[in-house]
Amino acid sequence: MSEFGRRIGYSEKVIEHFMNPRNIGKLEDADATAIVGSVACGDLIKFYIKVDPETDRITDIRFESYGCASNIATSSMTTVMAKGKTLEEAKKITFKQVAEALGGLPKTKMHCAVLSITGLHAVIMKYEAKIGRIPIDEHFVRRMLRGVLDPLKGVDVITAGEVENVKVDGKEITRRFSLPREDEAASIIEEEVREAFQGLDVRLSLIFS
């Protein structure tokens, strides 16, 4: 693997983090979770975090990944860089810093570092919404929906143009989708939407055309 990795432009650190990823696996008592990615590009990541409410530090962070070697390596490095930091410090980690910490990435794989940082920011955002630090408004709802994929199109429901309307009224969130209820993807999307908002004190009303 090492020789093959070098041929296609992977550094030794990328290969090492792919072969021996840090912080991988489900975190059962996570304070928040978030999913980012697309099966269309073959990269999907779920992040879990545990935060000390007194210090605002990330005491534990894990990930599960469906994707290529770069996807796994960048997610691994992102968790290493975020663990032990305060939320504000973790928000400042950039995809370029992740790539540099791995000794560089092929240009065609830089999007994996971007995706990992997007996931980190998403899980922090969800945690902050959960504790009431940021509002659960239309912007927040649409951000969470970017982690919900249409299994047939392979892209998130926002990019696919399937979210016709989002309404937030207190703790009531209403979303109207362009998909008919009988569409084979509708039940899967509904399940993923409910998972995306799991742990938040909200009521979901999902309407399919």
Instruction: Tell me the catalytic residues.
Output: 41, 112
**Max intra-chain CA distance, the chain:** 56
DSSP structural state of residue 103: T
Contacts of 162 (CB under 8 A, 6+ apart): 150, 177, 178, 179, 189
Helix (H, G, I), strand (E, B) or coil at 202: coil
Q: DSSP string of 154-192?
A: TEETTTTT-EEEEEEETTEEEEEESS-TTSTTHHHHHHH
DSSP structural state of residue 36: E
> What whole-number distance in Å separates Cα of residue 33 and Cα of residue 120?
10
State the angle between helix axes of 12-19 and 69-82 in degrees (0 to 180), rounded to the nearest 10: 90
Contacts of 132 (CB under 8 A, 6+ apart): none
CA-nearest of 124, 131, 119, 121 to 58 is 124
